Amino acid sequence: MLPTRRHVLAALVASSFATALPAAASDRADPQTLRVALLPDENAATIIQNAQPLKEFLAERLGRDVEILVTTDYSSMIEAMRFGRIEVGYFGPLSYVMAKSRAPEIEPFGVGVVDGSPTYRSILIANAEGPVKGYEDIRGKPFAFGDQASTSSHLAPRTVLAKAGLKGDSDYKVVHLGKHDAVARAVAAGQVPAGGLSESIYEVLVERGKVDASKIRVLGYSDPLPNYPLTMQGYLVPELKEAIRSAFLDIDNPEILELFRVERLDPTDDAAYDVLREMAEILEINLAKAN
């Protein structure tokens, strides 16, 4: 029996899908433009401007276009990684484990080293002339955090307070200001009596004159935290994954390393971030559902 016109059209449509789907999958696994997202912990325009040397280095090293992105907040970065809108992400430790809980294929491959260590700390601060002299003085008062998905500006200082017998929203008022620098400025200005942020970001803010250290009282520090991980999509072709890993771990340009606030980048793996999962358990945070 000769094929009808409808049979021919159906065959052509089926053929087009058969050829189109592998191409789309190939584009996803081996994209011509590599999208790299950096943490939204400071002004986005400043981060993108400072990242131009990184963009040029990666483009030359990988032989493809590179786009630097800064999402509006940690949650949107997690979702961008989850739904394949970025190929490489520089996460905070907590936002990484949150992303990993929702998209298990994400792979950490690099971690920043500072002063010879792949760890950092959260610093808890208070206004020097304010009512908070120690942790117990926080009771009944506001305490400022950064983004809800931040390690050193939320999870870590909140864990420190929990160990001191202070539970958020019952023993003190939880205030989220979004970014680390906003926390430091608000505390220095007396807008909130105390807050927590990354120690390294605080030191940079003081060094650059954006925060007056004389207006700050240091309350304490968190335990060491695994530093920020570089991650990539697990579905990328092996050759590209190895090229990305090698490119980042070979970076020795001080200007680029300054973007990450590190002296070098070392290899890492998922197990290094189990401590964050333990902290989340202490605070009864469901990482797969947290915002």
- Give the start-to-end residue ranges of the domains of the chain: 31-115+227-282, 122-223
Q: Does residue 61 carry a pLDDT above 70? A: yes
- The answer to whether 255 and 95 are in contact (CB under 8 A) is no
Average pLDDT of the segment spanning 282-291? 75
Task: Tell me the average pLDDT across 25-51.
Answer: 89
pLDDT at 27: 85
266 phi/psi in degrees, rounded to 5: -115, 160
pLDDT band at 41 (very low <50, low <70, confident <90, very high): confident
Reported confidence tier of residue 19, pLDDT bands at 50, 70, 90: very low
Give the pLDDT confidence score for residue 25 in this predicted structure: 62
Strands 33-38 and 88-90: parallel
Q: What's the 3-state SS for 168-213? A: ECCCEEEEECCCHHHHHHHHHCCCCCEEEEEHHHHHHHHHCCCCCH
CATH class in words for 122-223:
alpha beta
pLDDT of amino acid 283? 84
Here the tokens at position 32 are 């011509």
Q: Which residues contact 155 (CB under 8 A, 6 or more apart)?
A: 94, 276, 279, 280, 283, 285
Q: Which numeric CATH code is attached to 31-115+227-282?
A: 3.40.190.10
Q: What is the pLDDT of residue 14?
A: 41
Which of 5-14, 106-115, 148-157 is modeled with the greatest confidence? 106-115
Alpha carbon 44 to its chain's center: 14
8 pLDDT above the threshold of 70: no
Instruction: Please report, rounded to a whole number, the percentage of residues in the chain having pLDDT higher than 90.
Output: 76
| 120 pLDDT more than 50 | yes
Domain pair 31-115+227-282 / 122-223, same fold: yes
- The mean pLDDT value of the chain amounts to 89
d(CA 211, CA 217): 12
Element spanning 75, H or E: helix 74-82
How much is the average pLDDT of 147-174? 93
pLDDT at 149: 82
The residues pairing with 143 across neighbouring beta strands, listed in sequence order, are 174
Kindly tell me the burial class for residue 209, based on how many C-beta atoms sit within 10 Å of its own C-beta (0-12, 13-18, 19 or more).
exposed
Of 98-102, 170-174, 215-219, 239-243, which gets the smallest average pLDDT?
98-102
Tracing tokens 């309350």 back to the chain, one arrives at 219
Residue 34 near residue 62 (C-beta atoms within 8 A): yes
Q: Across residues 100-128, what is the average pLDDT?
A: 95
229: burial class by Cβ within 10 Å (0-12, 13-18, 19+)?
buried
